[in-house]
Amino acid sequence: MTASHSDALVLFGATGDLAHKMIFPALYAMTEHGGLTAPVIGVALTKENPAGLRKLVTDSIKASGGIADKRALQHLLSHLTYVSGDYKDAGTFAAIKTALGTAKRPAFYLAIPPSLFGTVIEGLGQAKLAEHARVIVEKPFGRDLASAQELNRIARAAFPEDSIFRIDHYLGKEAIMNILYFRFANSYLEPIWNRNYVSNVQITLSEDFGVQDRGAFYETAGCLRDVIQNHLFQVVALLAMEAPATRDYGALNTEKAKVFQAMRPLKPNDLVRGQYAGYRKEPGVAKDSDVETFCALRLFIDSWRWQGVPWYLRSGKYLAATATEVIVELKPPPQRLFADSAPANGLGNYLRFRVSPNSAIALASRVKLAGKEFVGEQRELYLSDEQPGEQSPYERLLGDAMAGDGALFSREDAVEAAWAVVEPVLTKHHPVLPYKRLSWGPKEADSIIAPEGRWHNPTPHDAPG
Ligand code: BG6
């Protein structure tokens, strides 16, 4: 642990869903790998005794894949304490101060509903707990431009910008980090990575399940806010940005912010919103809900590099497969020497970044088939594949935040610039169109991409295409 390393982790929302599904397993993995020695203080409204919290943590780790290292679990449990209380109550923050004991540089992790971020940050500031501390904030960071600005104002009143860690777990995925690495660790890509060679970029994040038990949350968000403005925009930024001067927080966010600033603000006709059959019957969902569970959109980045290149983004619940994939399609050869070198219906040469459920990078090129005729087919060269020992995004990001490394986190101007792109269509949009469960969304989504192309539907199981 270095001098600037956080010496305690305070987890707000310790009895919540995110803590159960993601954070406790990540803390266990960190302990197992030697990345967490600091005490952990769970905070929540629920009255719970320390033994109750230890049980919650143990159950969560069991559910996420089992306990391979009992010593790591014991270590984590013995460093765990619990504070229960209302976030509006100054007494809660006084109790946290007591629980922190001699810790001087705690990290406060806000795994709580966004509506409570402001209350907790203000509580930390008033209790003088923010000095020398870090705050880790879960997405969604705001629900529109004005609320993001307000949240940034509140956070900045208590913490300096380099102590605020805005988490987008997508940035902690190996496959996403590999996009950054792949782009800037190879020189052959640069000459073709622009409007002269790239015809379009498609990104699909599809899930074959619904909103599950998150209907009430989803009603306040919808697909555009839930995954497009953050996860998919971050992927766009990594693919579209100029080379950053260094690999640190400031340089990376400067380049990402420029991409968002160059994006054309969306108009209602740039997107198709859909809603899966039966969504309105989900618990917590309004009977007449117009919230989209599917969104397909066309985006333009008005920069020297990307002028005129369409970026197609699509995501949805209850689609035909669970997979996240990026296809960067290249323009066909200028001369049509072979009849099949510019397929009318198929994809041209492309680079494919597979993000989930497995990670991979593949490069597709045409090769001649044996025989008299000059006809061929497109085959994929697999450049990288899943590797053993990948950290979970939460293990990676929590470790980075506690070590003060902000490279994989978002800066306020980048977050606000991303909100500015979607702002015009958050309230002004066409009504949702119904779609069948386990389909690829409403057929109207094809109009986003036609007549030039078509959506490439990722397969649930990846194999060289
Ligand atoms: C979350 C969204 O941020 O990302 C979820 O709230 C979505 O609705 C999830 O399912 C997708 O992330 P992953 O890592 O499961 O692909």
Q: Ligand 1: does its nearest atom lie under 6 Å from the Cβ of 207?
A: yes
Q: Is 220 in the pocket of ligand 1 (CB under 6 A)?
A: no
Q: Find the mean pLDDT for residues 124-136.
A: 95
What integer pLDDT is reported at residue 3 of this predicted model? 61
Looking at the fold, whether 186 and 118 belong to one and the same domain comes out as no
Q: Tokens 């510019």 label which residue?
A: 342
Do both 277 and 409 map to the same domain?
A: yes
Angstrom distance (rounded) from CA 43 to CA 369:
63
333 plus 433 within the same structural domain: yes
pLDDT for position 88: 94
Give the pLDDT of residue 345. Answer: 66
Residues in the chain, overall count = 465
CB-based contacts of 161, cutoff 8 Å, min separation 6: 411, 412
Under the banding of pLDDT at 50, 70 and 90, the label for residue 383 is confident
pLDDT digits (tens, 9 = 90+) for 96-106: 999 999 999 99
- Residue 340 has a pLDDT of 85
Q: 96 and 187 in one domain?
A: no
On average, the pLDDT of the chain sits at 93
Total structural domains in the chain?
Answer: 2
Domain-embedded: residue 154 = no
> Cα separation of 28 and 409, whole Å?
22
227 CA to centre of ligand 1 in angstroms: 7
Q: How far is the CA of 314 from the centre of ligand 1 (A)?
A: 14
Testing ligand 1's pocket by substitution, the residue of 138, 231, 353 carrying the most ligand atoms inside 8 A of its CB is 231
Q: Does the pLDDT value for residue 242 go beyond 90?
A: yes
Residues 404-461 have pLDDT tens digits of 999 999 999 999 999 999 999 999 999 999 999 999 999 999 999 977 788 999 998 8
CB-based contact 142:117 (threshold 8 Å): no
Q: What is the pLDDT of residues 145-201, one digit of tens each?
A: 999 999 999 999 999 999 999 999 999 999 999 999 999 999 999 999 999 999 999
Q: Whose CA is nearest to atom 7 of ligand 1?
A: 227
Q: Tell which residue, 406, 408, 401, has the closest CA to residue 6.
A: 401
- Return the top range by mean pLDDT from 138-147, 290-299, 339-348: 290-299
State residue 49's pLDDT score: 81
CA of 132 to the centre of ligand 1 (A): 32
Q: Do the domain assignments include residue 93?
A: yes
pLDDT at 46: 86
**Residue of higher predicted confidence among 310 and 65:** 310
Binding site membership of 325 for ligand 1 (Cβ less than 6 Å): no
Over range 294-313, report the average pLDDT.
Answer: 98
User: pLDDT digit string (tens) for 331-360?
Assistant: 999 888 998 887 666 789 999 999 999 899
In a domain, 408, yes or no: yes
Question: In this model, does residue 464 exceed pLDDT 70?
Answer: no
What's the pLDDT score for residue 115?
85
Assess whether 227 and 97 both reside in one domain. Answer: no
175 and 134 share a domain? no
Its pTM stands at 0.95
151 within domain boundaries:
no
Specify if 278 maps to a domain: yes
Beta bridge partner(s), residue 325: 204, 354
Specify whether 190 is located in the same domain as 45. Answer: no
The answer to whether position 457 is within a domain reads no
Question: Annotated catalytic residue: which of 231, 430, 456, 461?
Answer: 231
38 is in which domain, residue-wise? 8-138
The answer to whether residues 204 and 106 belong to one domain is: no
Q: Do 321 and 192 share a structural domain?
A: yes
Res 244: pLDDT: 97
What's residue 212's pLDDT?
94
Answer whether residue 239 shows pLDDT above 70: yes
Does the annotation mark 5 as catalytic? no
Task: Tell me if 28 is assigned to some domain.
Answer: yes
Helices (H) and strands (E) in the chain, counts: 15, 15
**CATH number (domain holding residue 366):** 3.30.360.10
Smallest Cα–Cα separation from 9: which of 78, 113, 80? 80
Residue 140 has pLDDT above 90, yes or no: no
Nearest-5° Cα angle at 405, 404 to 407: 145
Q: Same domain for 208 and 304?
A: yes
Q: Is residue 147 part of a domain?
A: no
Q: 339 vs 368, which has greater pLDDT? A: 368
CA distances, 30 to each of 41, 72, 140, 166 (Å): 16, 9, 24, 20
Q: What is the pLDDT of residue 51?
A: 86
| Token pair for 402 | 């506690």
Say which CATH number the domain at 102 has.
Answer: 3.40.50.720
- Helices marked H in 79-164 — which ranges? 90-100, 117-126, 145-158
Looking at the structure, tell me whether residues 319 and 198 fall in a common domain. yes
Q: What is the DSSP string of 161-186?
A: GGGEEE--GGGGSHHHHHHHHHHHH-
Q: Are residues 108 and 239 in the same domain?
A: no
